[in-house]
Copies of this chain bind each other. A is one copy, B any other.
Amino acid sequence: MSVSGLFKSTQCLKKTEFVTILSRLYVNILRMIPINEAKKIIDDNIVKTTLTEPVSLEDAFGRALAYDAKSDVDVPPFNRATMDGYAVVSSDGAGEYEVIEYVPAGVFPTKKLEKGYVTRIMTGAPVPEGADAVVQVEKTGGFVEVGEKAEIKASFKPGQNISPHGEDVKTGDTVLEAGSRITAPESATLATAGHDPVTVFKLPTVAILSTGDEVIEPSEKPVPGQIRNSNAYSLKSQAVDIGLNPDLIGVAHDTEEDLTAKIMEGAKRDFLLVSGGVSAGDRDMVPRILEKAGYKILLHKVAVKPGKPLVFGVAEGPRYVFGVPGNPVSGLVIFELFIKPAILKWMGFSNTKHFVVNAPLADGFKRKKADRVEYIPVQLEWTGEGFIAHRIKYHGSGHMHALTRANGLYKIPKGVTEVAPGHAGEVIVLKYGWR
């Protein structure tokens, strides 16, 4: 945007206009930051939380474990038979031996085994004290009843067909590391190792603020010039998906007073997400008011499409603000690329990565300007051997409707104006299967 474009007053310049122009120029003279540099600036500033809380194991799904969880038991807790057969004293060797007990899985043996006897045993059951091997039934004369004589045909070694207690986990072993996301196998592992309640990292508080005089809520009917607030709902969904419960704190009008009041309210949270008011073309006071609210602005513009304007700031606490463009496709992409990994890091997760695959772009792609990395929405199809990415009919960054049919974002690198049909590129997976 040119200075003449900003200087629309034909008479003279009021002080407030002068300030507005200066702040816009300040934003505009900053170069577009490459994606990886922007990610590094964010990552260098996000401090992982140290706050923890105990939660009941059954409510721990999706949380980040805050400590290395050790086991207070051996797993298996006993010497476990790995075959159906007879528990034996290995020095007895082949021969006929009286069966003193029958131990199915889930039952604990009550009789110590002595030389000259055997215990009939099933896979998974505890091997009785005194036994040091299990002979599988195929190498015997078959199953007989307690009190009868079993024929052991094979020779066998000590330890044969026994999974010794503690083979999987020994008491004191770390079974799950701090930073693990607790899903089904982690829940079962923590249960087995005796962890309930579990200590997890606290969740951040998050506020989502929309801005713009023209923005109305979805339940209202727009008149010409008005648009419905969709970005806040999209951002909230993305935040809920990673386990957060953000507050929508409304729509701020484009006035100093309203923006200041709502930004001050949002700035109490660990993360404030502001939608709109950050583009150079906007009548935006947002970055300036964010600075007034105590945020140091570290990013203004990132070389990515959709989504060039991206404000990132840090205040005491530290607390963080992200400003995203007001259109929902840009907001969605910016959240996916920059905000999600940042919040996941804050939350204490050791893995904050996207799921990225490689796929040929079936339809190819052309663009005129190649000064930014561009992400285009695609439908990833699994052919049985690999992925193919199909472009979605898509009319630009306001066209969210198209994105409901997309499950990936295909990356067009900087400097590339044309992707030939079938050319493979990186795709960030957004959804898969039933998700």
Contacts and interface: CB of A to CB of B under 8 A. Distances in A.
Contacts of A227: 77, 192
A56 to B, nearest CB: 10
Nearest to A105: B281
Interface in A347-362: 349, 351-358
Interface stretch (A4-12, A265-273, A414-422): A4-12
Contacts of A435: 181, 183, 355
A4 B332 CA distance: 65
A186 interface: yes
A296 interface: no
B78 A185 contact: no
Interface in A100-118: 102, 104-108
Interface string A43-79: 0000000000000011001100000000011011110
Contacts of A396: 82, 124, 163
Interface in A156-201: 163, 167-169, 175-176, 180-192, 194-197
A288 interface: no
A222 B74 CA distance: 11
Interface stretch (A87-95, A297-305, A312-320, A381-389): A381-389
Q: Is the interface of A mostly helix, strand, loop or mixed?
A: loop
Size bracket, chain A contacts? 35 or more
Contact of A183 (B221, B237, B353): B237
Given A240-B62, A382-B357, A399 B168 contact: yes
A146 interface: yes
A126 B279 CA distance: 17
A429 interface: yes
Interface string A1-30: 010110010100000000000000000000
Nearest to A186: B404
A58 B433 contact: no
A406 to B, nearest CB: 7
A282 interface: yes
B184 A238 contact: yes
B230 A191 contact: yes
B404 A168 contact: no
A179 to B, nearest CB: 11
A77 B224 contact: yes
A253 interface: no
A102, A169, A237 pick with most chain B CB within 10 angstroms: A237
Contact of A434 (B163, B233, B354): B354
Interface in A113-145: 122, 124, 126, 143, 145
Contacts of A412: none
Contacts of A176: 404
A204 interface: no
A218 B433 contact: no
A285 B175 CA distance: 34
A146 B7 CA distance: 11
A371 interface: no
B225 A108 contact: yes
Nearest to A383: B358
A332 B191 CA distance: 14
9 closest A-B pairs by beta carbon, nearest first, are A108-B225, A355-B433, A191-B230, A185-B403, A188-B234, A355-B432, A188-B230, A196-B218, A188-B328
Given A188-B230, A189-B401, A341-B434, 7 more contacts: A73-B221, A108-B214, A124-B327, A192-B218, A194-B228, A358-B382, A358-B384
18 contacts: A5-B143, A8-B145, A72-B221, A75-B398, A105-B279, A163-B396, A184-B241, A184-B332, A185-B406, A187-B230, A187-B233, A189-B404, A190-B218, A191-B218, A191-B232, A192-B328, A194-B219, A352-B434
